[in-house]
Chain A
Amino acid sequence: MKVRLPLILVLITGILGALPFIIPHRIAQNFDNEFRNSVLRIIAAFSLVLGVGSIVRHHIYKIQRRKENWEYSWILLVSLVITSIIGLFGGIEGNGSLPTRIGDFYFDIQTIYMHAAIPLGATMFAMLSFFMASAAYRAFRARNFEATLLLLAAFIVMLGSVPLSTYVLPKLPDFAEWILTVPNTAAKRGMGFGIALGSLATSLKIILGIERGWLGGTK
């Protein structure tokens, strides 16, 4: 029963999820809307509790066992608690019951988001350029014919993407654009085609209970 019940649930919800695509009748559509908007949202809300529980448990465990770098776990837990209190009681822009400013110093959730979360995210995103440089250096070696072709294409597109090429080789940007528009698009379409069919087949196998890996491989 432990295995059969989830499989039956997947079969039913899978079919019910697919039917509204071919049945426009409002009975099917209303059920689908209700299922997606209400049931899934409730599940997601509860799962967040599980998530927060998990992260708190993980770091308390680290502190208790004095595992490597356990001091940082304190920073995480204290930040989590303070941000939650500010978010829950301080309102989005400091219009809640909890005061979120001391003189000209604001610490409402919008300020925290704008001045901490966004710059930190942008910093991580900016690191991408450094990683791209080192990855390109290591990977682009003319080991064989295919690798040489890849290397040449990369050179043309890279050169074509900077204004300097316009002065040196005026036709190069057009060629770079052709590489992007024709061979690149063709390859992407081919990949997309396989991915779409693969995902359809995987969905079918899950709905029909053939693919059970998500159950932990239980037979």
Chain B
Amino acid sequence: MNAHDSRTKPSRRFRLLALLGLMMGALLLGACQRGDQPWRLTNVSGHMPDLDFKLVDDHGKEVSGADYRGKVVILYFGYTHCPDVCPLTLAQLHQVLTKVGPAADNVRILFVSVDPARDTPDIMHAYVNAFDPRAVGLSGTPRAVEALSKRYRSAYTREPDKGDGQYEVSHSSALYLFDRDGKARLLSTPANPQDDLVHDLQLLLDKGA
């Protein structure tokens, strides 16, 4: 376990630094382009890859990023045994979509589990439905989840088992926003006010972007 931890920690730190570096770069770029787009969140247009993955949804159906074209997507990494931060984020997203109004029917929250060992499609189904009907629970093989995580420079680490089968997973708290064509457009962090998320989602929806 210790050897595993020491191997993953540098990797996690590296990916975390990469994410922070990307966010800083995006902020600088956003500043330069301030007059170009009225975004309030961090603009990552052209700096992150298109939405693409091969996972299983909470109905047990194999899905890919292409299945969500036509929808504005909010991508979030978490897990069901996270009893505080993840439910809070999803509850806030429910609040956001409620504020957006009927247009939010064209939004999908993709909740990707970083704990595939415990988060089966059935558990994910009950979980996401407790928050919002537009939320989709995605799980898959550890390899597939890691591939998606790396694609967006997200990081997650399984903390040491406490001996009773209980363990926590530290994970990125960022939200990744994609337009209807699956292009990565915006990055949101817990520090961003909820109204900024509402505002930018409405823009993504209105522009048909």
Q: Is this pair of chains taken from one and the same complex?
A: no
Residues of A within 8 A of B (CB): none
Residues of B within 8 A of A (CB): none
